[in-house]
Amino acid sequence: MSSFHKDSWSACAHRSAFMLSLSLALFSLGCKDGGAEFRRVLRSAAHAPTGDATQEKAKRKSKGKAGTDASGAQENSKQVKGGIESCPKSARLVGAPYPKGLAQWCAATSKDGKELRHGEYRRWHKNGNLRQVASYKFGKFDGAVESFYPGGARKELVTYAEGVRHGPWQQWNKDGSQKVSGFFQEGRKHGAFVWFSRGGRLKERGFFEQDVKSGEWITYHRNGQVRAVSAWQGGKKHGRDEEYSKDGMILSRGHFEDNLPSGPWIEYFKNGRAKQQGVYVAGQKHGNWVDYTPEGGVRKLVVYDRGAVVRSERGQSSAKRSRKSRKGGSFGKGDILGAPPPVPTRQAATPTIPMVPEDLEEGEDEEAEWNELPSSRKAGWEKL
């Protein structure tokens, strides 16, 4: 017999055996309980869904679940569908994911019998959104640690290496805008750092060297204008130091040495005219310090000796007297920093003032000396 005929005969024999078994089964059901069981089976078969209907129902269920997951992804990009899937070989799973629990982590037993977190760690808010995702290595953070607000927005990203901050550090506001960005090296701030106000406006930026301020630091007004510029060295102010108004006009300009103001210093009114100028020595006012009026006239001159007031003179505030008096001034054509104050172009440059007459030396009869001075020497000054 050919192989084809053998296969056909075998298939026919199998079908005959199957039909015989089915007939016997139906016969037994028909005899059981007066045929009640047989009728129940027929009704179930008649009302059973077809293969197409079953597939359609499965598709609807899958679609609904997918829609829920999609909305969850919009709410929280880190929303976890379930709990932790696996732990390191030496660890076991502890806790339960939402909704059965609010935290789940991998734990291992140390040599001294203590239970330590080792592996992945997840924590949820009460509303089901993810609260924190981290990685542990024998009880210490190791790797990225991400935190989230209850609404799902990212809150913070910190990077660790065996329990010590090492790597990028970022924080965000609830609206998703950046709050701070920096970098840690072996637990210390190192490199560029930037802080932002709500809405992402630049607030402050600068540099750290091993947790110590270094280089140029700049702060900003809420409107984006520079507020202050300062130089740092070894955690102390050292070098240029300037302040500005919201309109961008300079308010003060000077230098620091070892965290103390040193050298020429000048302050300005908001209209751009000089307000006060003088010299610092080791953080103390020294020599002649001049106060101006907003209109540019001389208001007062005070002589200091390393912070102690030696003499104070009040000047004529009229513009006419100020213009006459600046001809004999020793500050030159500009301010004591070697350049004219940054006044608006429509305004005249800030006038300089004469020094206190050298004839009036400390310890002498100032009243008599003043009366003996010629009127040309008294121009622009009054006795206190």
> Residue 83: its pLDDT value, please?
86
pLDDT tier at 159, thresholds 50, 70, 90: very high
pLDDT tier at 199, thresholds 50, 70, 90: confident
Overall average pLDDT of the 8-18 stretch? 45
Residues 94 and 107 in one domain: yes
Name the residue with higher pLDDT: 375 or 239. Answer: 239
Of 170, 205, 212, nearest to 189 by C-alpha is: 212
In this structure, of 29-33, 129-133, 254-258, 301-305, the range with the lowest mean pLDDT score is 29-33
pTM comes to 0.60
Residues 6+ apart with CB under 8 A from 328: 354
Residues 294 and 165 in one domain: yes
Residues 156 and 294 in one domain: yes
Residue 238 lies in a domain: yes
Domain count, the chain: 2
Residues 301 and 170 in one domain: yes
> Residue 69: its pLDDT value, please?
35
pLDDT tier at 286, thresholds 50, 70, 90: very high
Tens digits of residue pLDDT in 339-368: 444 443 333 333 333 333 333 333 344 444
Name the residue with higher pLDDT: 150 or 376. Answer: 150
Beta bridge partners of 147: 132, 156
Residue 248 lies in a domain: yes
> Residue 65: its pLDDT value, please?
38
Residue 285 lies in a domain: yes
Distances in Å between the Cα of 297 and the Cα atoms of 105, 175, 249, 268, 351 are: 73, 51, 20, 13, 7
Overall average pLDDT of the 304-326 stretch? 70
> Residue 318: its pLDDT value, please?
40
Residue 127 lies in a domain: yes
Residue 180 lies in a domain: yes
Residues 231 and 132 in one domain: no
Six-digit token pair at 348? 């005249």
Domain hosting 121: range is: 70-139
Residue type, 129: N
Distances in Å between the Cα of 370 and the Cα atoms of 287, 298, 360 are: 21, 19, 7
Reduced to 3 states, what is the DSSP secondary structure of residue 13? helix
